Amino acid sequence: MKYVLLFSIVFFNLFGFSQEPNKAVVEVNKMNVVYRGVSNPLTLSMPGTVSFEASAPGLKKIDDYGNYVMNPGSGLTVDIELRGKLPNGEIVTAIKTLRIKDISKPVGSINGLGCGEKCLLNLKKEELREAKIDGYIKDYLVDLDIRVVSFSIKLPNDSIVKFVGDTINDSNYNMIDKLKQGYEISIIDIKWTIFGTTSTYKLRPLQPIKIRLLN
């Protein structure tokens, strides 16, 4: 009987208290930091508690399953405070600190090709017909829906043609088709936005796209 009682006590201690109730868990989805200017997905939890609340500047609750988004403001770090309720009614608290970083300078791309303003793309003129202008942020692991709303093309004679939207349409492609092989053009002044976010962050301009015409 003593052995059974002893085993029961050990079993209860190992499994009944295996979690630290005041230890908060913060999972930063797809990255190790939060970025300024975009909505950062977070998953928060406090093992051992029956309920908890989280608060921090720019933190917004999405659902009852621990999913949040954060739009951090100024500074280099942000503290997330979690307050949890244990089964016996006791309140426990924990603080998690995350780093804040600015997103790197975005790069313009054409049909998915782009390497920054110091790079020169070699493209056939036909590849520019109905070509889509887009952009991306290097080394940034969050999926962003980047939308280009306007851009301009600088021709070899320094004249500039403006476009609305994200595509080189047929009517403006004709001027490119008339250019000779080896001529260089630049896609500049690319205006863009991040679709689906309410952030007020002032977006940096997309780096221009420099192109050498092959034929």
For 149-170, what is each residue's pLDDT tens digit? 999 999 998 899 999 999 998 8
Domain enclosing residue 171, as ranges: 107-213
Tokens of 159: 């004249």
| pLDDT for the residue numbered 150 | 94
Tokens of 83: 């307050």
Q: What is the pTM of this model?
A: 0.62
In degrees rounded to 5, what are phi and psi of residue 174? -60, -35
- Does any domain span residue 154? yes
- The reply to whether 142 and 189 lie within a common domain is yes
- The reply to whether 57 and 147 lie within a common domain is no
Helix (H) or strand (E) holding 96: strand 91-102
- The reply to whether 18 and 98 lie within a common domain is yes
| pLDDT for the residue numbered 124 | 93
| pLDDT for the residue numbered 17 | 31
170: left (phi over 0), alpha (psi -120 to 50) or beta: alpha
- Does any domain span residue 73? yes
The total number of structural domains that make up the chain: 2
Confidence check: pLDDT of 45 > 50: yes
- Does any domain span residue 12? yes
| pLDDT for the residue numbered 100 | 92
What pLDDT digit, counting tens, does each position of 72-129 carry?
989 999 999 999 999 999 999 988 899 998 878 889 999 989 887 778 999 999 999 9
Report the distance separating Cα 168 and Cα 176, nearest Å.
Answer: 10
52: domain CATH number?
Answer: 2.60.40.10
- Does any domain span residue 126? yes
Q: Which of 64, 85, 102 is the last residue of a domain?
A: 102
Report the distance separating Cα 30 and Cα 81, nearest Å.
Answer: 21
- The reply to whether 111 and 200 lie within a common domain is yes
- Does any domain span residue 119? yes
- Does any domain span residue 18? yes
| Average pLDDT value over all residues in the chain | 81
Q: Which of 79, 102, 125 is the last residue of a domain?
A: 102
Helix (H/G/I), strand (E/B), else coil: 142: coil
- The reply to whether 97 and 113 lie within a common domain is no
Kindly indicate the confidence band of residue 215, based on its pLDDT and cuts at 50, 70 and 90.
confident
In degrees rounded to 5, what are phi and psi of residue 52? -155, 160
- Does any domain span residue 1? no
Report the distance separating Cα 90 and Cα 29, nearest Å.
Answer: 30
Q: What percent of the chain has pLDDT over 70?
A: 80
- The reply to whether 114 and 62 lie within a common domain is no
Confidence check: pLDDT of 20 > 50: no
Confidence check: pLDDT of 196 > 60: yes
